[in-house]
Structure 1
Amino acid sequence: MDKFEPQKVTSVFPKRRQDMFRWDGWGYKDTKFVCQDGNITFVGNRYSICGQRLDNFRDWVVDMFKIDLSKMNLAAEPPTQFPDPVCNKAFLVGLLEAGIEYSEDGMDRTMRCHGQTLTDVESLRKHKYKRIPDIVVWPNCHDQVVQIVELANEHDVVLIPVGGNTSVSLAATTPTIQDRTIAVVDMTQMNRLMWVSETNLTACFEVGIVGQDIERELGKLGFTLGHEPDSHEFSTLGGWIATRASGMKKNRYGNIEDIVVRVKMVTSKGVLEKQFTAPRVSIGPDFDHVIFGSEGTYGIVTEAVVKIRHVPEVRRYESLVFGDFDTGVHFLREVAEQQLQPPSMRLIDNIQFKCGVLLDPAARWYTGFVEGLKHFYLTTVCGFDIDRIVAVTLLFEGDAKSVAHHEQEVYAIAKKYGAIKGGEHNGKKGYMLTFVVAYIRDFAWDMNIVGESFETSIAWDKCISLCANVKACIRRECERRGIKYFAVSSRVTQSYDAGCCVYFYLLFKHLDIPEDSLKLFMEIEEIAREEILACGGTLSHHHGVGKLRSKWYPECVSPVGVGLYKAVKKELDPKNIFAAGNLVREEHQPKEDKP
């Protein structure tokens, strides 16, 4: 089966997002943590822990942060009044004449004015928007995007392309431009599967397609893309390209730049696209890599050719328990050194280990461990300290024979480091709980707990010291600010031959004023980021720069790098139509040349 006519996909994103998704946080409207009469339940039916009481998790959180569940923050009411749009009548007339759908509805605009940082969520809940878009535009094909860009250039309208608005770097947050009309170009209705080549194992998609929709449609044909970021349910192919995304199964399928073969992007100067699809060429710089990580500042990506694989015959989960975090890192390093990384291999520290266990709906201590494994077995027979043990969750994929062999090789290394198997149940649960973390973050805010994550990548020889130094830095800053009840945690999520990706998590009990707590968190995160850079970590592994981290961008790429970025920006977008304000701060963006 090679190539066929474009197939329209039913998007998980309706045009009226507010009908299905939360307006003030992460995820589906019908799925959330609730606390009633002191009992915590995850309502809905989309995840394995839905519909179950989480008593152990409740008790652990109450004890750690000393919170009173009878004093939960009240749910915010959706806004009913919205800032008047900055109207550009000529632009609207042009859209009407071209038959391009748009909306000036206040809630449509609000649903697309933000990403998923704590700053975004708090601004929404308090109705304190610095700026929301003036118009939402829905193109239905590449040619309509070309028309939109031409109209924007003609009438000096700012264009902000968005997908699922899942950014955690303020990249999707509307820039504070007051004197120009800002149009959000919602790409989610541009989601056709254009063609598939079984011979070449490639497919072409419009980039507004959401991750879960890609897997569903390819799965019908026996294929998979294999790219599963934590935001897989809601993020889009275009968003992955714009941020240089990475997924949980990158060891088998690659990061987004390894998966994408060809990109089509509409710029102010025209369409940028290779005129061929081939496995590799040597014809100068690869301009696709100018597009990867450009965060909406160069143009609008419309289509992408991607590599696909056959759906694996076997998918097997497992977990391993180690005595401490450092031992877990050494295990990951040796697996990587022997190039035996399974598709997904993630190390979680003691706090996350306990949290994951206590979120088990069965409410049994260490459910799923090998037959008969109990607290006594861990602490007495194995000699593990219950307050230091960590876990590695594993996912193997492939044909039955190769998976069995792969498992044997990985488990042989684990045995050298004193690991015991934690069971398939815990491995699968650890993988799936990734999709629930953002719901926990929002619920924590309701329970008067500030919680957020930030990530980096680091060479193997600096990984352990990085984790220790950054955690110590965060603890010191919390104590210096009088924060009594807090938790700092880390995990290693992706591994490479030369290094790994590390996540840090900070949670602390609200002060009297939630806004002050958010301010404190931002201050501590900024100091922690300085410590990360000082320890040899990167500004980001896959979240991108956005507006949140743009102050460090020049330091990370050098003045020459900033100059090169600005030169490309000026060539592709001389009028600064794509004024998202990401990467290089807005005051440093090139302006239109005056005669």
Structure 2
Amino acid sequence: MGTGIPNKRQKLAKWNGWGYKDTDFTMDEKKDVYVTGDRYVLSGKCIPDFRPWFENFTGLDTRYASPAQSWPEMQQKIHKPVICKSFVDELKQANCFKYLSFDDEVRLMHSHGHCCQEIYQLRYGKFKRLVDVVIYPDSHDHVEKIVSIATKYPEQLTIIPYGGGTNVTQALLCPENEKRMIVSIDTQEMDRILSVDFESNTAVIEAGAIGTQEEVDRQQKIIYDITSKYGGLKAGAEAGSRGYLLTYVIAYLRDYGFNYYFMAESFETSVPWSNIVPMIKKVEERVKESAKKKGVPSVPWVSARVTQTYETGACVYFYYGFIFRGLSDPIKVFSEIESEARDEILLQGGSLSHHHGIGKLRREWMNEVVRDQGVDILKGLKQKIDPHNLFGNGNMGLTQADLSISANIE
């Protein structure tokens, strides 16, 4: 037990953008773009055609830079933690955590996900409410003890569980109206494989476990043995590697765009086959029409791709972004256009989400999608399981959680 900070995430991850600190799309003096670091296939390589391609599709102009604020500038905007001393003292006495931190950077990193609105605020603004303490248990027993102690103080604290921190539904944003101490429980120290059932091909693995290369190799051998037994062929890892690369490259590209007044986001839906093409067309039209009405200085970039297929339909990812230079409240405009895109998706037979979930970003459509009766059922379950709203982050609109239209942003 200690009050130090586990350095896995803080040492490796950016505090104000996507991914690893050593990985970025960067432009050199010749205006060629290359990828820093050595983690990906593209790392260390120059991409000479990237800049003109990106500028052509998005309208980005590298003559106009929009650098992010520094950490000292952000740190000055971080409020002091609200502390329930009795709870903290009892935790220490029970010896039920590995680390506990009130560090400013740790608190900030546990108070947001990776929506465009959240990254914008990290770069240029501040969050009105942050978690007050981050607790790192290293066992299931620790978690049970932490929650058990917390139930003694329902009027003085609330809990927000924390996983990888990369959600894109504003699920981690702290309600602005929350006066209680906000406790973040980070499971990254719970990294053990507890049991393996080889006959059933199942395992019990703690929430913070990260697969090793040895485990990947072992699983690959098992799969190849099975395919060989039944006459299957090795397709190779190329397709999977390209898909993995595309997913992560897109995420890093957003930070590059932000450097030059371009903001962007992706969002997904599931839709029947017959609706895919009409839906994509209508959403693109709706986004461009809305942007024009709201005074966006250039035509938005809108794109879509099918990522998963099923017998009756598919998952469709949309990518949308625009130049925000000159807008007085870029994130408000961005959020309103994104909401109109979601309205159009639902109008065209798409779902509220395929796999990202609801969080706070999509809570306004809950009554439309599952109706009042469905929301009442969910609220009833919440009340029965958590009568004191100990887990009170307000996701899905089941409890009050005030956020401004600019997504907790000033």
Partner of 1:67: 60
In the alignment, structure 1 residue 162 sits paired with structure 2 residue 162: yes
CA contact (8 A) 1:26 1:438 kept: yes
Distance 1:311 1:493 in 2: 26
| Residue-by-residue CA offset, 1:124-167 (whole Å, 9 max, x unaligned) | 22341121111000111111111111111101220000011101
Measure how far apart 1:17 and its partner are: 2.5
SS in 2 for 1:528: helix
Distance 2:177 2:227 in 1: 50
Partner of 2:49: 56
Measure how far apart 1:75 and its partner are: 3.5
Distance 1:425 1:178 in 2: 48
In the alignment, structure 1 residue 214 sits paired with structure 2 residue 211: yes
The one-letter amino acid of 1:28's match is: Y
Distance 1:435 1:311 in 2: 27
| Structure 1 residues 492 and 216: CA distance shift in structure 2, 3 A | same
Partner of 1:34: 26
CA contact (8 A) 1:219 1:311 kept: no
Partner of 1:153: 151
In the alignment, structure 1 residue 457 sits paired with structure 2 residue 270: yes
In the alignment, structure 1 residue 312 sits paired with structure 2 residue 223: yes
The one-letter amino acid of 2:206's match is: E
How many residues matched? 389
The one-letter amino acid of 1:169's match is: T
Distance 2:383 2:229 in 1: 53
Partner of 1:197: 197
| Residue-by-residue CA offset, 1:242-273 (whole Å, 9 max, x unaligned) | xxxxxxxxxxxxxxxxxxxxxxxxxxxxxxxx
Partner of 1:114: 112
- Which runs of structure 2 are paired with 1:485-524 in the superposition (5 Å)? 485-513=299-327, 516-524=329-337
The one-letter amino acid of 1:313's match is: Y
SS in 1 for 2:397: coil
Partner of 2:406: none
SS in 2 for 1:536: coil
CA contact (8 A) 2:68 2:124 kept: no
Partner of 1:568: 381
Distance 1:398 1:468 in 2: 41
Partner of 1:360: none
The one-letter amino acid of 1:170's match is: Q
Indicate the structure (1 or 2) with the bigger Cα radius of gyration.
1
Which of 352, 363, 366 in structure 2 is aligned with 1:539?
352
CA contact (8 A) 1:456 1:502 kept: yes
Partner of 2:408: none
Measure how far apart 1:223 and its partner are: 2.4
Which of 75, 79, 99 in structure 2 is aligned with 1:80?
75
Measure how far apart 1:478 and its partner are: 2.5
Structure scoring higher RCO (CA < 8 A, sep ≥ 6) equals: 2
| Residue-by-residue CA offset, 1:358-411 (whole Å, 9 max, x unaligned) | xxxxxxxxxxxxxxxxxxxxxxxxxxxxxxxxxxxxxxx94497544x98xxxx
Which of 17, 40, 46 in structure 2 is aligned with 1:25?
17
In the alignment, structure 1 residue 481 sits paired with structure 2 residue 392: no
Which of 135, 138, 141 in structure 2 is aligned with 1:140?
138
| Structure 1 residues 215 and 495: CA distance shift in structure 2, 3 A | farther
Measure how far apart 1:15 and its partner are: 4.2
Distance 1:217 1:154 in 2: 44
Q: Kindly, what percent of the aligned residue pairs are identical?
A: 35
SS in 2 for 1:136: strand
| Residue-by-residue CA offset, 1:415-440 (whole Å, 9 max, x unaligned) | xxxxxxxx997885354221221101
- Which runs of structure 2 are paired with 1:268-307 in the superposition (5 Å)? none
Distance 2:7 2:375 in 1: 37
Measure how far apart 1:467 and its partner are: 1.3
Partner of 2:121: 123
Distance 1:479 1:80 in 2: 36
| Structure 1 residues 16 and 428: CA distance shift in structure 2, 3 A | closer
| Structure 1 residues 562 and 427: CA distance shift in structure 2, 3 A | closer
Distance 1:536 1:65 in 2: 28
| Structure 1 residues 174 and 41: CA distance shift in structure 2, 3 A | same
Partner of 1:98: 94
Given the two structures, how large is their TM-score scaled by the length of structure 1?
0.62
Distance 2:229 2:113 in 1: 41
Distance 2:125 2:59 in 1: 29
Partner of 2:39: 46
| Structure 1 residues 128 and 447: CA distance shift in structure 2, 3 A | same
- Which runs of structure 2 are paired with 1:212-361 in the superposition (5 Å)? 213-214=210-211, 216=213, 218-219=215-216, 222-223=218-219, 311-313=222-224
The one-letter amino acid of 2:39's match is: R
Distance 2:237 2:85 in 1: 59
In the alignment, structure 1 residue 184 sits paired with structure 2 residue 180: no
Partner of 2:407: none
| Residue-by-residue CA offset, 1:81-124 (whole Å, 9 max, x unaligned) | 32111110000001110112311111111111100011111222
Measure how far apart 1:516 and its partner are: 2.4
Partner of 1:466: 279
The one-letter amino acid of 1:192's match is: R
Measure how far apart 1:217 and its partner are: 5.9
Partner of 1:587: 400
Structure 1 stretch displaced more, 450-459 or 428-437: 428-437
Q: Structure 2 regions of 5+ residues with no counterpart?
A: 403-410
